[in-house]
Homo-oligomer: A and B are copies of this chain.
Amino acid sequence: MNWLDLLSEPEPGLDRTEPMYARITAGIRKAIQSGQLSDNTRLPTNRELATLLKIDRSTVSRAYLELSQSGFIDSHVGRGTYVRPLVQRQASASSSVGSASNFASSIDWLEKFSQSSRTCLDLISRQPAGTQQSDAITFAGGIPTEEFYPHDQFQRIVSQILKSEHSKEMFGYSAAEGSPYLRTQVKRHLKKHGIACGDDELLIVSGSQQGIDLVTNVLVDPGDVVLLEDPSYFWAICNFRARQARCLPVGLDDEGVRLDILESHLSRQKAKLLYVMPSFQNPTGATMSLPRRIKLIELANEYQVPILEDNFVGDLNYDNSALPPLRSLPGGKEVVIHQGTFSKALCPGLRLGWLVAPPEVTSRLLLAKRTSDLSTNSIAQIILAKYLEEGLYSTHLEHVRQCYRNRRDAMLNALSRHMASVSSDQSLKLSWSTPQGGLFIWAKLPDGLSARELLTFAEMQGVSFSPGDMFFLNGDHSEYFRLCFIQTEESVIEEGIERLARAMRSYFATVARSSLSEISGRARVRNNVLI
């Protein structure tokens, strides 16, 4: 089978009138219907087809997903992808209640999920497949590396707990609101951030992601409006979409969420939730200014819209410039649900975070917690409680703050040094943010260029990053990308940015071969996006 001929597109990737995945979908469907591809024919793997067509594997995934959902092919992880036999295609096309067809080949009772999470699956397909080279340097993702996990301290703590009074709590059910031992320590920790909370205002959760899920569960019905920073945290967008919320974007400027856009949304419709990351936002690394924080709370009180403040990297500030959390500001106690985690500053495997909310909200969150998973695992809670009690977290924090600060500075310096020489053309410049904390630098190519195209060149050079479009509600803004600076040592950062500069040179050279008019034709109007 000549796949290039089959998809009748000798040079895919140039014609931009129709998305690539749609053309692949249409091509394969036509070939199946015409009999060119016969029953049970094995299709190429994602990787094979992507290599052949010189496109991203996620594009092939999406095409295969569409074909699978419309009943033309069957995909099984590890077993390959095959043309579904005609008799089964006919069965699934006419599937109805009462038919005894195997549900693995009919998606009859998956219709709910197919409908409500279609957008979610689309989102997932935006995640790049990732580079495969063994010496590849990755600035993608945002996961603290194990070099900083407190193995030895945890080992000692576990041994001590197993001999102590807390041993009993370690393997039994924890209270749904969290272990009293850990709750005491988290309250002490929150006090340092200016947040006082009563026993009826605190809930321990299985990481930030569960916090988001519980808040959505309690506040948002299908069709309800959720407002969020655009761009925002990928898995928060997925969560809101999976709950069938109407997600509306609030653009950012250099002080944080734009209140004019926010108020324009709020004056037109009731919103059930505003989701923000005021400090060191994901993906932009930006921090909301103090005046903006104060005004935001006023507005939220005025319109009675609850704010979910995701303080996922609140402890990771590098310039002694930490701003007070929204919940600690005047009026904050009334409208802010505050969320935090130890996943980023300590280690993610504990799966521990917390929510602070008004008592009436907390009692509902507690009920949602119970229906979700009864309670949080006890072992991790007791280990963390003792770790906090012994004051080890403060020491740890000083250490990682210093390391991460150095890595941020190394990346900023490397960007300045290597990007200056990439092109003499002033219109071909990379710009980037200077975060005061957190994990990420946010970068922007000249308008009309594509971070996904750059990624192809970058992976050939052995470096990767997260394309920015996956963080936007509409999947647009292809010129942005996100660099995580905490995962790699300074020397590796230096090498990685040098590789990135080489990739940009190749990319710009390729682009230069196209006409200037084509580039400007691909440029889109800026839309309230930082940098």
Q: Does A107 contact B (CB under 8 A)?
A: yes
Whether B146 contacts A358 by the Cβ 8 Å rule is no
Complex Cα distance, B457 from A421, in Å, reads 86
Q: Within 8 Å of chain B (Cβ to Cβ): is A110?
A: yes
Interface size on A, residues (CB 8 A): 95
Contact present for A301 and B100 (CB under 8 Å): yes
- With a cutoff of 8 Å between Cβ atoms, the chain B residues found around residue A207 in the complex are 373-374
The dominant DSSP class at the A interface is: helix
Residue of B nearest to A207 (CB): B373
Residue from the list B154, B206, B383 in contact with A373, Cβ < 8 A? B206
Picked from B106, B173, B351, the residue with its CB within 8 Å of the CB of A348 is: B173
Interface-located stretch among A25-33, A39-47, A362-370, A514-522:
A362-370
Would you give the shortest CB distance from A488 to chain B, in whole angstroms? 16
Identical copies of this chain, number: 2
CB–CB A162/B151 < 8 A: yes
Which residues of chain A from 352 to 367 have a CB within 8 Å of any chain B CB?
A: 358-361, 363-364, 367
* Residue from B107, B301, B351, B376 within 8 A of A375 (CB atoms): B351
| A374–B235 CB distance below 8 A | yes
- Distance of A267 from chain B, by nearest CB (Å): 9
Least CB distance, A66 to chain B, in whole angstroms: 14
CB of A417 within 8 Å of the partner chain:
no
Least CB distance from A90 to B in Å reads 17
Task: Identify which of A217-225, A287-295, A504-512 touches chain B.
Answer: A217-225
Interface string of A106-122 (1 = CB under 8 A from B): 11111011001100110
User: Which residue of chain B lies nearest to A96 when distances are taken between CB atoms in the complex?
Assistant: B304
Residue in A124, A370, A383 whose Cβ sees the most chain B Cβ within 10 Å: A370
Q: List 16 A-B contacts (CB under 8 A).
A: A98-B303, A103-B334, A104-B334, A104-B358, A124-B367, A170-B349, A172-B347, A172-B348, A206-B373, A210-B372, A213-B373, A242-B368, A349-B378, A350-B379, A351-B375, A373-B373
